[in-house]
Structure 1
């Protein structure tokens, strides 16, 4: 059982992020199963409620679950790997509270107030089609989320470059953090010259670069939310502001540039860094082709700034040159950067054989499999011809998005969770190895199965933003998706039971509040009055 009184402040705040993340993931899969039932033709809710749920679902999954788990892990890893103290413990505490409140607020905007502009929030729909209260609540929640994201970015950057703990000058630190030393070392090796040891560990480089995209994403989405908030206030006064001041096509490009910094930017960079970290921990070896990996991370950062237009390939108003250059050509290059990350990780593990098949190794391999399936699916639809067929179908969110998020990202995060669990809980052992293995197989089979069923439905023509009536032709695929989705629910419950029974209810509560010592409490109760 976990003795929470022995946790350091850094362990405690990281665990708080993790617990909140797992709770939001539970909410997210509940939403997903409700939508699965609705798509089978169960009459569960009205159309406006269904689409509001569809809009809240990715916000909870991305910012409530994935971001929170990533932030918690990085708050622990950055100071630990750099052998420095976290810049501000207080900011970290404010961070998880701000983001948790923001995600709940956004969820309420959809589930209660029926805000249903979906994940895209295309202008001017948010300010013309929904009640002022729903727009106000959504904008407020999103601003809180992005404020939390910016707090994280500031705290991480300040920790990396805080110089009270190091004598290193700022210039070389920045050069190493950006990854220029990777290019320099590759060039020196090609010239047969001596290669210098980089100042920063490779996982820190990935975290730093991914956090750049995280900050840019927060600035864009937060700025647009401020626009929503201003319009909501004027809607309450009965004198709505005109919407013509913001060109819809320009808005789409700005919005998708910021939004795609998540899917095709920070996620891929953070995941690559996590793979490299886990490969080193599991193998006990130096990463294969480390300097190439450093250089590739910098290339991925630049690529991530130029790929957003593949989301607008089916938009007739979008400029054709941008569709071809950004939407097709630059997007296709992600096969190269992702391929390098997969190859470097697998080669490092291969050279360290034989390896014990630990939970973190299993989930790491599962995460690699998820991206190996999901990234090519995305490249397929990032083609002008294929995009006309697949863009607004279940293929996009099934074979591509859910495959990458649930299997690729999800299993990578679980690998990190299982690897960091003993470090964060002072070597508290997991209670059941069987439940850990069950979690792996049930999540893997359930996630791939559900994504494939949705992908097949998309290839048959099932739209992703449409409610179908009873006995629609896509019922077999949706029934299959629901069955596999149910397997993921069971996997989640098995994982939660395993973790909670391992740390104990008292340990779980002690992560958030200071509890009296159990021995002292028992002694006091035994003392006669």
Structure 2
């Protein structure tokens, strides 16, 4: 029974749907916010690197941690969330469609998120929320910051519910048929997001808002940090899975090939759902109050994610090689040499894929008991973050932009814009290599993350780190040029590129691929296993934390650079 095959979609349900102008306006609204965020967040990142190197002093009494918080929140949370939800809405609209009621609910999700984003941004800009994007207690922000965060999360939940409804309606109309792969992937990602973000929502609503309003005198710091990292690690996969969607189901079409295996892709996403959430303790390895046994168990679960990652690498590079061989390219690496390197829709995501190799290696170090002790809370972690999120994920998002935006706006990707995109990808790669490389080296030398130059300038260590700080400033400056170029390309593709039709590339599966087993569509089973893993990994240690950790910390000024 488990090996029973799902019926293949009929010819009508296999055809991609047309995205209407009404839908395009919805999807583009998310993209507008994402690219405005890219510009603002990039500017804050540039200022940050310049301040850290001692090159400039911030004018008008602007606090360094104000800049640092805005950079983290607007890029790690706002840019990614808006781009992902807009992209995923477009995938669902193209594969399973969207009804008028669903369309209205999608707009509701957008406006709830926008209101929350504005509230959060204002508190940061006014210097009332210099708490970084992790907003660790006992650092305290204005209540509007936490309320705004809660609204952003609620808005994203509405978007997830719309996605679930879209797939449910499609399944009702096509009983017994295999759901479109991209719709399946979007559903997995939003399931993971909603389950994971419950943790940070509880922390914000139950702990932070009453505390910031003065209704609670203390806050349990360890509980708040544990709830954050229950969410914080799946957040990384919330960014990464849309990149995987493009790698699995879109890049093969761009290179003129086909999807290697539908079954393998679905299984990889299911495993990523299982092993992305119950692993937050590997971000808390140095914290007292958590039993080391449970830290070890969650480290083991963290390493399990290697399995779907290797499955993904195998599937994608198998697609590359098969496509190249079919085109007649000989030799051991002839297929690799003749990939469409001059097509920015392929080049940008491909650089992201290659960056994920050192990024994954750094992740193994971060999640390891002994090696984590060397790099914990150093700028190594920041460098790792920029390789994974700011290179692998962001460059893939840029690659998506080159075909998605003109498709939604009724324009075309011209040769000149394609050439400009290639230049942008190279600039981004050079800037990130310099900046992130310097961060990794300085981290191994003990350089702290988050801290400004004024906190350690003039010390013996500062003289040892200075050249790495300067390299970060140089790399950050190059990256900002790349951001300006990308924003220009976005504006060009949105408003000024020639009118026309740009393909929405969705790959078909190989004809001789193994049929997809029915059990891969068993949503109740996958959700049950995910919840069981979470309960196993968190129930006993969380009860122990509540029973034995100190009741809380009174409001007081905390040295934020050492948090």
TM-score (norm 2): 0.76
Any conservation in 2 of the 1:147–1:218 contact (CA below 8 Å)?
no
Q: Say if 1:433 and 1:283 are closer, same or farther in 2 by CA, change over 3 A.
A: closer
Tell me which residue corresponds to 1:347. 318
- The reply on whether 1:268 has 2:240 as its aligned counterpart is yes
Structure 1 Cα separation of the partners of residues 42 and 282 of structure 2: 27
- The reply on whether 1:281 has 2:253 as its aligned counterpart is yes
- Deviations along 1:124-148, one digit per CA (max 9) or x if unpaired, are x14xxx4xxx421211210121121
Residue of structure 2 aligned with 1:364, choices 338, 346, 349: 349
- How far off its partner does 1:482 sit? 1.4
Residue of structure 2 aligned with 1:29, choices 13, 20, 42: 42
- How far off its partner does 1:10 sit? 0.9
Structure 2 Cα separation of the partners of residues 272 and 304 of structure 1: 14
Name the structure, 1 or 2, with higher relative contact order (CA <8 Å, separation 6+): 2
Structure 1 Cα separation of the partners of residues 245 and 406 of structure 2: 20
Structure 2 Cα separation of the partners of residues 436 and 46 of structure 1: 36
- Find the residue that maps to 1:414 and give its secondary structure: helix
- The reply on whether 1:300 has 2:272 as its aligned counterpart is yes
Structure 2 Cα separation of the partners of residues 103 and 83 of structure 1: 28
Listed as ranges, the gaps of 5+ residues in structure 2 are: 1-18, 325-337, 500-563
Any conservation in 2 of the 1:446–1:487 contact (CA below 8 Å)?
yes
- The reply on whether 1:230 has 2:243 as its aligned counterpart is no
- How far off its partner does 1:284 sit? 4.2
Tell me which residue corresponds to 2:51. 38
Residue of structure 1 aligned with 2:439, choices 454, 466, 471: 454
- The reply on whether 1:333 has 2:298 as its aligned counterpart is no
- The reply on whether 1:114 has 2:128 as its aligned counterpart is yes
Structure 1 Cα separation of the partners of residues 310 and 246 of structure 2: 15
Any conservation in 1 of the 2:45–2:71 contact (CA below 8 Å)?
yes
- The reply on whether 1:404 has 2:418 as its aligned counterpart is no
Structure 2 Cα separation of the partners of residues 292 and 502 of structure 1: 34
Identify which range, 18-27 or 483-492, moves more after superposition: 483-492
Structure 2 Cα separation of the partners of residues 349 and 28 of structure 1: 35
- Find the residue that maps to 1:352 and give its secondary structure: helix
Any conservation in 2 of the 1:303–1:330 contact (CA below 8 Å)?
yes
- How far off its partner does 1:426 sit? 2.0
- Deviations along 1:53-110, one digit per CA (max 9) or x if unpaired, are 3233222112221111111111111121225547522222232333233223222222
- How far off its partner does 1:459 sit? 0.8
Tell me which residue corresponds to 1:520. none
Any conservation in 2 of the 1:394–1:457 contact (CA below 8 Å)?
yes
Residue of structure 1 aligned with 2:116, choices 102, 106, 125: 102
Tell me which residue corresponds to 2:378. 393
Any conservation in 1 of the 2:97–2:166 contact (CA below 8 Å)?
no
Residue of structure 2 aligned with 1:248, choices 198, 212, 221: 221
Listed as ranges, the gaps of 5+ residues in structure 1 are: 1-5, 173-197, 509-529
- The reply on whether 1:384 has 2:350 as its aligned counterpart is no
Q: Say if 1:112 and 1:491 are closer, same or farther in 2 by CA, change over 3 A.
A: same
Q: Say if 1:505 and 1:355 are closer, same or farther in 2 by CA, change over 3 A.
A: closer
Q: Say if 1:63 and 1:96 are closer, same or farther in 2 by CA, change over 3 A.
A: farther
Q: Say if 1:86 and 1:315 are closer, same or farther in 2 by CA, change over 3 A.
A: farther
Structure 2 Cα separation of the partners of residues 426 and 333 of structure 1: 43
Q: Say if 1:13 and 1:372 are closer, same or farther in 2 by CA, change over 3 A.
A: same
Structure 1 Cα separation of the partners of residues 372 and 61 of structure 2: 27
Structure 1 Cα separation of the partners of residues 408 and 467 of structure 2: 44
Structure 2 Cα separation of the partners of residues 395 and 254 of structure 1: 24
Structure 1 Cα separation of the partners of residues 24 and 476 of structure 2: 33
Tell me which residue corresponds to 2:468. 477
- How far off its partner does 1:117 sit? 2.6
Any conservation in 1 of the 2:406–2:493 contact (CA below 8 Å)?
no
- Deviations along 1:400-430, one digit per CA (max 9) or x if unpaired, are 1111111110011111111323321224334
Residue of structure 1 aligned with 2:80, choices 41, 48, 66: 66
Tell me the C-alpha RMSD between the 2 structures.
2.5
Any conservation in 2 of the 1:206–1:272 contact (CA below 8 Å)?
no
Moved over 4 A (4+): 45-48, 83-87, 505-508
- How far off its partner does 1:121 sit? 2.8
Q: Say if 1:311 and 1:423 are closer, same or farther in 2 by CA, change over 3 A.
A: same
Q: Say if 1:204 and 1:504 are closer, same or farther in 2 by CA, change over 3 A.
A: closer
Write the mapping of 1:408-423 to structure 2, written as runs, cut at 5 A.
Answer: 408-423=392-407
- The reply on whether 1:77 has 2:48 as its aligned counterpart is no
- Deviations along 1:251-287, one digit per CA (max 9) or x if unpaired, are 3222210222211x32333322221122332244432
- The reply on whether 1:136 has 2:143 as its aligned counterpart is yes
Tell me which residue corresponds to 2:12. none
- Find the residue that maps to 2:173 and give its secondary structure: coil
Structure 2 Cα separation of the partners of residues 47 and 329 of structure 1: 46
Aligned length: 458
